[in-house]
Amino acid sequence: MTTYRIDPNAPVITVYAEIEGVIIARVKMALDTGATYVLIPWDIAETLGYDPAYSKQKVDITTASGTEKAPLITVSRISVLGKEARDVPCIVHDLPETSRVDGLLGLSFLRRFRVCLDFQEGILEIE
């Protein structure tokens, strides 16, 4: 089990993820149990060697400006706090510039693990 200290009063829980493509990128992500998929921005997807513009799969996403279609890609590997998942579906979409993170760590990664958030103790555990 991996234990990570969190600030229970922070407006968002952030973690760093290693995302693998032709290279490995370290990406600051918000833990988001309300997001069906992991979300990564276009520039990171392209840097990793993925080409979201040619994705045949599109997913409806809800943004502040309405509903949009976003490409769905599968990344080779995502590792967070020492826990690794392979062939993870990810939406490619840019978050607003005011976001404090690059992406969202959604259920396409999280549902592969037992995840425990203990706000009383300020602990995130992934096993």
Helices of type H across 14-88: 42-47
Residue whose pair of structure tokens reads 């992406």 in the numeric block = 103
Q: What's the order of all strands across the beta sheet hosting 123-126?
A: 2-5, 123-126, 115-118
Whole-number pLDDT of residue 64: 76
Q: Kindly report, residue by residue over 86-110, the tens digit of the pLDDT.
A: 999 999 999 988 899 999 999 999 9
Q: What is the pLDDT of residue 50?
A: 97
Q: What is the pLDDT of residue 29?
A: 98
Note the pTM of the prediction, 2 decimals: 0.93
Residue 86 has what pLDDT?
A: 98
Pairing label, strands 83-92, 66-80: antiparallel
Dihedral angle, C-alpha 45, 43, 105, 35, nearest 10 °: -90
Tell me what the mean pLDDT of segment 21-42 comes to: 97
Q: Which tokens hold the place of 101?
A: 């993170």
Token digits of residue 88: 């993870």
pLDDT value of position 116: 95
Q: For the CA atoms of 34, 87, 75, 73, what is the dihedral angle to 10 degrees? A: -70
